[in-house]
Amino acid sequence: MSTQKAPSIAVRGVGKSYSGVTVLHDIDLDIAPGEVHGLVGENGAGKSTLLKILGGAIKADAGTLSFDGEQVSIGSPRDAIGHGISLISQEGALVPALSVLDNVFLARWSHRGGLVSARADRKRLTGLLETTGFSVDPDVRVDTLPIGVQQQVEILRALARGARVIAMDEPTAVLAEHEKENLLALIRRLAASGTTIILVSHFLEEVLSVADRITVLRDGALIRTGPAAETSPRALVGHMVGREIDVLYPDPRPVPDGSPVVLAARGLRRGLVDGVDLEVRSGEILGIAGLVGSGRTETLRLLFGADRPTAGVVEVDGVALTSNTPRAAMAAGVAMVPESRKEQGLVMQRSVAENVALSSLSGRRSGPFVKRPAEKTAVGEISKSVDIRAANPESPIETLSGGNQQKALFAKWLLRDPKVLLIDEPTRGVDVAAKTQIHHLITGLAADGMAVVCVSSEIEELLALSHRVLVLRHGRPVGEYPRGTTPEVVVAAAFGDHSQGETS
Amino acid sequence: MSVDTTPQAPATPSPAAANNMSRLAFRMRDYGIVAALVIIVIALSLSTDTFLTSGNLVNLLDQTAVLGLLATGATICIISGVFDLTASATLALSAIVGVQVGRVTDVYVGFAAAVLAGALLGFITGTVVVRSGVNSFVGTLATSLVYRGLAVMVTGGAIVYPLTQYAESFGVLTWPSLFGLTSATIMFVVVVAVLAVIVSRTTFGRRLYAVGGNAEAARLSGIRVGSIHVTAFMISGVCSALAGLILASRAGSAQSTMATGMELTAIAAAVVGGTSILGGEGAVWRAIVGALLLTLIGNGFNLLGWDTIYQQVLQGLLILFAVTMDRWLRKRTR
């Protein structure tokens, strides 16, 4: 797939720190041509930093980088591209308003006499689509595409630039199960044709299944590099956290008999969501499963009034919400931990304390003024109970790790003492330790009588936490499964075919 | 915060030192602009005999009042994530309303009418921006043309004066008052102090920052984003009206071309003070520091007898420098 052979990469003594805090320290790493190299570690271990240094997005403070024994200097993404390295970052780097074609050949358009030649680009794109097996309409704007397809566009772009090394940061985090499989298959094919792939992922099974070798980072240091065949998820987690821990899910306490229905929705409709009915009882955790685009997140948003349904009612304690707005839902005792912390959940530049206090400000005021001592106490207590680890509650929340940010998001809603908690992706982008804490938090809240609705693309997590799982397909419930159902059955239902599920 | 010493806590290398470093960087970012102000004050005190005279300081604060009020309004809007380019047009229109109402009633009723007009214009601007969903920059640019046009219509393009018997009391804001400061200065200080408290201590203030920092997160936290924006525009409108009264009181008249272009100087002052144009950050005191800095440059040119031809160039460079420093320090601390 690449015109030239991939170089062997040698990283020596690479380090990076931000205002005195070391995020990478003395990294030595060799990556062979055509290798799939997995990088794993908890949040804040330095995986993304290392990847960004290779991709030229940030500059290392110390150390050297050599390709085929020759020292190179990568000071910008442009340098990296020049050396055949392409970085596919978590956030994505597409220009939303441009077409697929323009994005794939961004700044590398074919031209003739100074004019861009779309025809030549089209031809090149057809070739790339054949090699990758993707099918994308070259003329649609990329912001109209689902996130999984956007990622394919990024991969196409990397290949169009003749990338011989592709570094991917959490590429599967945003993908549905079958899309993940496709991506992993593509990674294998690319590697087989000589492209080096560096893969950062939280999903250990995935890394194990696709990587030749795996490097574990912890607190900015390289702990070990070894063949994937010689390790296991448990051993990797052990290296990541410095000891063997059990990645065990807590069991939710059974829902007491006669527990009342707290949240009910009937005939919810809007966009993707095409008639959803559901009921959740006090103390119950209802999981909602489905592929990306099945309307899971959209359903949750309708329940909270984040979007206004075109039809249907939401009832709390048997009383229909007065209007479909977050304010009305909140007044009725509903809270929602949204899908994206950064975009929908937190005000990143404000302090931890301000964020945690935000949704319950009216509860602690005298006249127009914030009761600061009361706020300090309330925030302090809730932070302690969900275990937010912040050096200082007055520091900007963006300085916290993903896990602590997520815990702060829970804390913000728990301060309102809600009856119903809607959770979209409870542990996305969260390290292993915090993940377990959040799982315990959720089952604990349900045990105390809260009604919980949870959406997660991690099917194991969803099945482990939920009393009941509702499967959506094309915006409609297609099945409801009790606790103890296997992932295969649920995934098969999500795909709408009842043959064999294709997970694990 | 909870002191957690469970073994799970990751060991960061020399956390104390790192903490001090980043705290120092934060300080620099927070108070660097104050240091700049102090340096200029010291330099002017040393290089001229006239700077530290009470006459000059009274004069300096009086000169800062108009820009300071406008910069405060601009800062509050910017914190909430919008720009108010109607500021100077609102200033002119409300000053004109003040003079005209004063002609048929009484000077002070006129002043009250001006402030009310400012609030009303702010309400209209805010409602237009929120309801139309147009970017505030464009929305307020268009609205400001309408306001300026209305000012021309109301005055027929002429200068409007208070009735002769009121002419003296119309100048009330230029009179000396407490501590020898002008009434305008006192009003400016009081209004700004009240706004500073509102922004930093009230639930409204908290919501203002949240809306500017992340409007969607604010909405999903039950905050009425639209009404926060409308309120920000209303505050800005009142600030403009008060600034307009000071200018009118000084000139003894009002006209449709008053303070043209000053909304941009106000935004510049806000930014020089260190308020991020991205929203969600900033403070009222920063607006004052920014306004003082820009005013000091003019004052310094006068006192040093420098050719004022260079004044704008220096102001422009200062703005660039302040914004660059802010960006640089921000990058280092993140």
**In-domain check, residue B298:** yes
Q: Is A343 on the interface with B (CB under 8 A)?
A: yes
**In-domain check, residue B315:** yes
Residues of chain A with pLDDT > 70, as a percent, come to 94
Residue B161 maps to which CATH number? Answer: 1.10.3470
- Domains, chain A, ordered by start: 9-241 (3.40.50.300), 261-495 (3.40.50.300)
B18 CB neighbours in chain A (<8 A) are: 19-22
Q: Is A326 on the interface with B (CB under 8 A)?
A: yes
The b-or-e profile of A156-178 (16+ CB within 10 A means b, else e) is bbbbbbebbbbbbbbbbbbbbbb
Q: Inter-chain contact B206–A361, Cβ cutoff 8 Å?
A: yes
B112: pLDDT strictly greater than 70? yes
**Which residues have a Cβ under 8 Å from the Cβ of A1 and sit 6 or more positions away?**
A131, A159, A190, A193, A194, A195
Q: Which domain range does residue B179 map to?
A: 50-333
Cα dihedral sign for A298, A300, A303, A307? negative
Cα dihedral sign for A380, A381, A384, A388? negative
Residues of chain B with pLDDT > 90, as a percent, come to 66
pLDDT band at B91 (very low <50, low <70, confident <90, very high): very high
* Number of neighbours of residue B154 by Cβ within 10 angstroms: 15
* Number of neighbours of residue A327 by Cβ within 10 angstroms: 15
**Which residues have a Cβ under 8 Å from the Cβ of A260 and sit 6 or more positions away?**
A281, A282, A317
User: For chain B, what is the domain count?
Assistant: 1
**In-domain check, residue B324:** yes
**In-domain check, residue B139:** yes
A292: pLDDT strictly greater than 80? no
B3: pLDDT strictly greater than 50? no
Contact yes or no for A407/A386 (Cβ under 8 A): yes
B110: pLDDT strictly greater than 60? yes
Residue carrying the six token digits 């380019």: B85
Q: Inter-chain contact A306–B220, Cβ cutoff 8 Å?
A: yes
Q: Which residue has the higher pLDDT, B308 or A453?
A: A453
Lowest-confidence pick of A44-48, A251-255, B301-305: A44-48
DSSP A22: E
Q: What is the mean pLDDT of chain B?
A: 89
Question: How many residues does this entry show for chain A?
Answer: 504
pLDDT at position A327: 96
Give chain B's contact residues with A (Cβ, < 8 Å): 1-2, 4, 8-13, 15, 17-22, 25, 198, 201-207, 209-210, 213-214, 216-224, 276, 280-281, 332-334
Q: Inter-chain contact A358–B206, Cβ cutoff 8 Å?
A: yes
Instruction: List the single residue in B203, B220, B224 with the smallest CB-CB distance to A368.
Output: B203
A345 CB neighbours in chain B (<8 A) are: 217, 220
Which of A78-82, A236-240, A305-309 is the most confident on average? A305-309
pLDDT band at B307 (very low <50, low <70, confident <90, very high): confident
Residue A363, token pair as written in the block: 């509860």
Q: Inter-chain contact A344–B216, Cβ cutoff 8 Å?
A: yes
Give the mean pLDDT of B53-71: 94
A490: pLDDT strictly greater than 80? yes
Q: Identify the closest residue of chain B to A301 by CA–CA distance.
A: B220
A430: pLDDT strictly greater than 60? yes
Q: Identify the closest residue of chain A to B23 by CA–CA distance.
A: A19
pTM score of the predicted model: 0.78
Encode pLDDT of A20-38 as tens digits. Answer: 567 888 999 999 999 999 9
Lowest-confidence pick of A248-257, A489-498, B188-197, B271-280: A489-498
Nearest chain A Cα distance for residue B214, angstroms:
5
**In-domain check, residue B247:** yes
B129: pLDDT strictly greater than 80? yes
pLDDT at position B128: 97
Q: Inter-chain contact B280–A362, Cβ cutoff 8 Å?
A: no
Instruction: List the single residue in A19, A390, A412 with the smallest CB-CB distance to B333.
Output: A19
B175: pLDDT strictly greater than 50? yes
B144: pLDDT strictly greater than 50? yes
Encode pLDDT of A242-252 as tens digits. Answer: 654 455 788 89
Backbone angles phi, psi at B320, to 5 degrees: -60, -45
pLDDT at position B331: 65
Lowest-confidence pick of A180-184, A282-286, A416-420, B208-212: A180-184
Instruction: List the single residue in A219, A336, A350 with the smallest CB-CB distance to B280.
Output: A350
Residue carrying the six token digits 């909870």: B2
**In-domain check, residue B246:** yes
Closest CA to A3 of A164, A235, A240, A139: A164
Give the mean pLDDT of B107-115: 96
**In-domain check, residue B13:** no
Q: What is the ipTM of this complex?
A: 0.86
Instruction: List the single residue in A18, A359, A380 with the smallest CB-CB distance to B1.
Output: A380
Q: What is the mean pLDDT of chain A?
A: 87
d(CA B102, CA A214): 80
Q: Inter-chain contact A383–B2, Cβ cutoff 8 Å?
A: yes
pLDDT band at B8 (very low <50, low <70, confident <90, very high): very low
pLDDT band at B333 (very low <50, low <70, confident <90, very high): low
Q: Identify the closest residue of chain B to A378 by CA–CA distance.
A: B1
**In-domain check, residue B120:** yes
Encode pLDDT of A348-401 as tens digits. Answer: 999 999 999 999 999 999 999 999 999 999 999 999 999 998 878 998 998 888
For chain A, the straight-line distance linking the first and the last C-alpha, in angstroms and rounded, comes to: 28
